[in-house]
Amino acid sequence: MTSFPLLTVRRSLLITAVALAAGCAQQPPSTPASTSANKEPVRLMTSGGFTAAHKLLAPQFTAKTGVVVESAYGSSMGSSPTSIPNRLSQGEKADVVILARAALDDLAAKGLVKPGTQIDLVRSAIGVAVKKGAPLPDISTEDKLRQVLLNAKSIAYSASASGTYYETQMLKKLGIHDQVMPKSKKIVTERVGTIVARGEAEIGLQQVSELLPIEGISYAGTLPHSVQHYTLFSAGTASTSTNPQGLEQLLKFYTSPAAYKAIRDTGLEPVAKPL
């Protein structure tokens, strides 16, 4: 067996190590395909109608782009301290706002949302729910819905878009406004379904997408077509937005066919054209 001097072996090892180091230096450091370490988060405010869909879509968006979404929640309208109009009026910052279109247009008129940036995303029907275990009411026709509301001992309705329709138009269409409004309660700080689940109201009416996630209730279905009212939920750029690139990415994803399943699964109907 040939014996190599120790100095020769050390020199060979040194040359090999230098070559390996040089090769590594030419390769870029390995990084995850999607990382949010150097990306500004998108700050999003959404009302209850789009909340369930957003909670499904936001993690998908982050996984795809590496952009984190910082979320805040509140009603589309009303005097609650957590309502989105109040949040923005008090200086809370956001990049994008998603809420009922009429309320969004009002924010644009006030300068809290940049005019002309509104994009319709989904529409939502009004549904009816009762406490889990209670008999499901038959609301399949206008006459049957009218009788259900007249027979109910107590009714809870939203302080947002669906509730405004309920108290100003729907009951009048049914011809029972004066009989039903005294036993109806507007819910300001909670979901209507939560009130029904606790047994504090026999019947609850709200956007379908806001009823479905609530435990402890049974969903009875949507209002009959003749008295149904659809609310558009739309996105707009907040006047305080500082992340136009992240905002554009998010809206492209939320209006893409990839978002449709989550939207439909939460009781909404997509209406946006892909950007």
Identify the CATH number of the domain defined by range 42-123+231-270: 3.40.190.10
* Domain 42-123+231-270 matches domain 126-227 at the CATH topology level: yes
Tokens found for residue 238: 């907040």
pTM, full prediction? 0.77
Place of tokens 């009429």: 102
| pLDDT, tens digit, 9 for 90 and up, residues 198-225 | 999 999 999 999 999 999 999 999 999 9
Residue 273: predicted pLDDT: 80
Residue 253: predicted pLDDT: 97
Residue 38: predicted pLDDT: 58
Please tell me the distance from the alpha carbon of residue 208 to that of residue 60, in angstroms, as a whole number.
23
| pLDDT, tens digit, 9 for 90 and up, residues 125-171 | 999 999 999 999 999 999 999 999 999 999 999 988 899 999 999 99
Residues of the chain with pLDDT under 50: 1-37
**Top-tier CATH class for 126-227:** alpha beta
Domain boundaries, the chain: 42-123+231-270, 126-227
Q: What is the DSSP string of 162-208?
A: HHHHIIIIIHHHHT-HHHHGGGEEEESSS-HHHHHHTTS-SEEEEEH
Tokens found for residue 45: 């405010």
Residue 39: predicted pLDDT: 84
